[in-house]
Structure 1
C-alpha cells in the first residue's frame, strides 16, 4: 500500500523534507544565538559603561582605534580649537527635547584634528536666536577631556545624512563626512566633553555600535521564530501529502476509483433519480 513512497516524486519530496527541516532548525538556532550574544553584549556594555565613568582618563592615542572596550572611556587631548570651522549637528534629542550639538574641531599636535562635541542646545540649528546662545570655545592651548565615541554611520538611529543641510551644519559625525569640510585630516573618532560651558548641556556617551538591545537584536529574535515556523510548515505539508497519498492508495486497493460514485449507474447521478416529464406525459 505504501509503495508510493518509493516513486521518484516521493523521493524528491522526502529528500527536500530531510534537508529543509534541519536547515531551518539550524538557522533558527543560529539567529537565537545571535540574539543571546546581543543580550550578553548589552550586559557587558552596561558594565563597561559603569567602569568607564569611574575609570581614570587616558591619552587619546592609547584608546584608538575605538572598540567596544574603549568606547565611552574618558580620553584627553591637547590642542587649539579651530573657531573657523565650528559646526552644528541638527536634529539631536536629549531628555525628550529637540536640539542640536555644537561641534568644534581641536587641532592637536599630532597633525590631525579631533571632533569635540562641546555640548547640546535646545532649539533649531537654523535659527539665529538659538545659535546666538552658543558660547565661544576657549582660546589658546587647552586640554579637553571627554567620552570617546566611534564615528557615526548614516544608518545609525537618529542620525541625519549631510545631504541637503545648509552650510555650517553636519549630519553625521565621522571623518568621512568631515574630510570635505576642513582642509586637514581628522581622527576617525570624536569625544563629547564631560563638563559643558553654560548654557550648553553635556551630551552623554552613546552605546558602542553593534552592541546592546537595539532593533537589529530583536530582528534576530523574530527571524528565530520564522525559521522554526518554516520547519514546522515543511513537516506539516509532508504529513498532509503522505496522508492524502495513503488514502488514495487504500481506496485503489478496495477497488474504489477516485472521482467516481461508489454505486453503479450514471456518474452524474444515481439511476433511480426522478426524471422530469412533460405536461402531456403527466396527463
Structure 2
C-alpha cells in the first residue's frame, strides 16, 4: 500500500520535507540565540551602568573612541562653552521635550557636545538657559554618536536654525566651523533648573523592538517546521485513503479519450 512512497512525486516531497525541517529548526534556533544575546546584553548594560556610577571620572582622551566597554563611563573634560543647539523630539518620563546641547571647545580645538539638560515642551531658545562663561570642567556619562532614525532618534531634516535632530559628529560638523568629537556627554547634574538626561543603553543591547522581532521570528520558524510535518502526514493520509478506495473499487478510473479518425466518416 505504501509503494507510492517510491514514486518520483513522493521522492520529491520527502526530500523537500527532510531539507525543510532542519532548515526551519536551524533558523528558529538562530533567531532564539539572537534574542538571548540581546537579553544578556541588556543585563550586562544594566550591570555596567551601575558599576560606572561608582567609578571615578577619567579624562576624555583615555576613553575614546567610544565602544561597549567605555560607553556610559564617567568622563571629565575642560574647555569653554561655545555654540548652543536644541535637540527636539526627546521624551523624558513620558513627556515630550528637548535637549539643551552646548559645544565645549577643549584646549585641543575640537568641540565636545555636552547635553546640559532637558526641558519640556517645544524647543524655545528663550527658555534654554545660557551656558556658563569662562573655562569650565564638566563631568558626565560618555555616550556614542547617535544615528538618525535609529533607537528613537529623529531623522527629520529642514529643522529651524539652532536645532539638530541627532547628536553626532556627522550632523554637527555641518553646523560649526571646527572639528567635533565623535562622542557626547550627558551631565550628571543638569544646569539651571533643567532635568538631567539619563544615560542611554549601548546600541543592540536593549530589549527593543528588534529583540522581540527575533523572538517572534523564532516562533514563526518553529511553526513552519510543524506545518511541514503536518502537511506531509496529511498528504500521506490522503494518498493511503486513495489507494485503499482504489483497491475496493470505489474510485473510478478516468475514461480514455476517444480519438476520431479524420479519414473515416
Match of 2:75 in 1: 75
Match of 2:23 in 1: 23
3-state DSSP of counterpart to 2:114: strand
Match of 1:57 in 2: 57
Alignment match of 2:134 (pick from 129, 133, 140): 140
Q: Is 2:40 the partner of 1:40?
A: yes
Match of 2:244 in 1: 250
Question: Equivalents in 1 of 2:205, 2:74: separation in Å?
Answer: 19
Q: Post-superposition shift, 1:232?
A: 0.4
5+ residue gaps in structure 1? Answer: 261-283
Match of 2:91 in 1: 93
Match of 2:101 in 1: 103
- Normalising by structure 2, what TM-score? 0.91
5+ residue gaps in structure 2? Answer: 255-265
In our comparison, the structure showing a higher alpha carbon Rg is 1
3-state DSSP of counterpart to 1:220: helix
- Normalising by structure 1, what TM-score? 0.85
Which region of structure 1 is more displaced relative to structure 2, 61-70 or 40-49?
61-70
Which region of structure 1 is more displaced relative to structure 2, 189-198 or 15-24?
189-198
Match of 2:205 in 1: 211
Paired residues, number: 254
* Runs of 4+ in structure 1 over 6 Å off: none
Q: Is the 8 A contact 1:133 1:199 kept in 2?
A: no
Match of 1:278 in 2: none
Q: Is 2:180 the partner of 1:182?
A: no
Question: Equivalents in 2 of 1:111, 1:18: separation in Å?
Answer: 64
Alignment match of 1:168 (pick from 155, 162, 169): 162
3-state DSSP of counterpart to 1:24: helix
Question: Equivalents in 1 of 2:250, 2:120: separation in Å?
Answer: 82
Question: Equivalents in 2 of 1:221, 1:179: separation in Å?
Answer: 39
